Amino acid sequence: MNNDGNKWKTDFPFSNDIDDYVTRRDFIRFLTVVSGGFVVGNATIVASSLESETAKNYSALEICDTNALKNGEWLVFNYPDASTPAILIKNEAGNYLAFSQKCPHLACPVAYHRSSSEEPEHIGCHCHNGKFNCDTGVGTAGPPKELRPLSQIELKIVENKIIATGFKQRKSLNA
Amino acid sequence: MNIFNKPGSSIKGRATRLKGAKEAQIARLIILISLCCFQYWLLVTTMEAKHSGPKNIAIITLIVSLLCFVLVFGLFITGELGIKKLNHEMEKDD
């Protein structure tokens, strides 16, 4: 007897739709792997959040000159490390503000929007139409409304240079 | 051995066992899908918490997700063992 279980396929080379069906058993195997993947993903997030908790010392970073932005303009820079994007805004009142560019909802990049006839100036997230107060970074609409505000970066102006010096302490959710 | 004279190994008995195994597998599959959906929700919640919410829930969600995986793996193993046992019994009956 031939032990090759697929011999019949060569003897009778006829395809059938049912050949492409996934069996319940295979689907259960797949779901087990998916479940393991979720655990690994969760563990990775926990590990990275523990790592970021330990890195609390931020160095100063020169962002740009004070005359680089006009009122209602903004730019993207990286702070506190080269891979973390942040935004520097010169709001319509002429004040400099800087925030982390990661939306607190699902980390999509946020962007500054000037005031229009429909709404005042704000920071917006395009992914889920989240909006933030431009002065405080507090969520005002969409999913970020229920979450923590954007991380605000402390700024210092020395000899016409805007310098990022660290993050402002955020209020807790329950405060 | 005449399998038709043996209780539980008749054609009817075999069909009943196969039907039972199939239904158990479907039940297992439904539980697994529910657990995976719950784990997905946990993952999204952990990510939101990391970016903005209370960070201490990340450890709790990890533990719960791990427990879900243990359940999923347990169901997978019992399913595999069940199928093997059934095949073995069928072969023995034949």
Best mutation target among B51, B64, B69, B70 (most A Cβ atoms within 10 Å) is B51
Report the distance separating Cα A60 and Cα A49, nearest Å.
22
Round to whole Å and give the CA distance between A50 and A65.
Answer: 35
For residue B7, is pLDDT > 80?
Answer: no
Distance CA B14, CA B81 (A): 18
Categorize the per-residue pLDDT at B3 as very low, low, confident or very high, splitting at 50, 70 and 90: very low
Whether the Cβ atoms of residue A31 and residue B31 lie closer than 8 Å to each other: no
Distance from CA of B17 to the nearest CA of A (A): 17
Pull the structure tokens for residue A74: 């903004």
Query: What are the backbone dihedrals phi and psi of residue B73, each rounded to the nearest 5 degrees, phi first?
Result: -65, -40
Determine the Cα–Cα distance for residues A44 and A48; give it in Å rounded to an integer: 6
Task: Please determine, for residue A32, whether its predicted confidence score (pLDDT) is greater than 70.
Answer: yes
Residue A32, amino acid: T
Chain B residues at the A interface, defined by Cβ less than 8 Å, are 22, 25-26, 28-29, 32-33, 35-36, 39-40, 42-44, 46-48, 50-55, 58-59, 61-62, 65-66, 68-69, 72-73, 75-76, 79-80, 83
Contact at CB, A39 and B66, closer than 8 angstroms: yes
pLDDT digits (tens, 9 = 90+) for A84-96: 899 999 999 899 9
Q: What distance in Å separates the CA atoms of residue A117 and residue A96, rounded to the nearest whole number?
A: 23
Q: What would the pLDDT profile of B49-77 be if each residue is shown by its tens digit? A: 777 666 678 889 999 999 999 999 999 99
**Under DSSP, is residue B75 helix (H, G, I), strand (E, B) or coil?**
helix
Sorted by sequence, the CB contacts under 8 Å of residue B50 that are 6+ apart come out as A45, A48, A49, B58
- Which one of A24, A39, A102 has the shortest CB-CB distance to B65? A39
Cα–Cα dist A119/A39, whole Å: 42
Give every CB contact of residue B24 below 8 A, 6+ residues apart in sequence.
Answer: B79, B82
* Contact flag B32-A144 (C-beta cutoff 8 Å): no
A143, pLDDT greater than 90: no
* Contacts for B14-22: CB closer than 8 Å, 24+ residues apart: B14/B90, B14/B93, B17/B86, B17/B89, B18/B86, B21/B82, B21/B83, B21/B86, B22/A24
Q: What is the pTM of this model?
A: 0.59
- Tokens of residue B62, six digits: 């990890």
The Cα–Cα gap between B74 and B53 comes to: 32
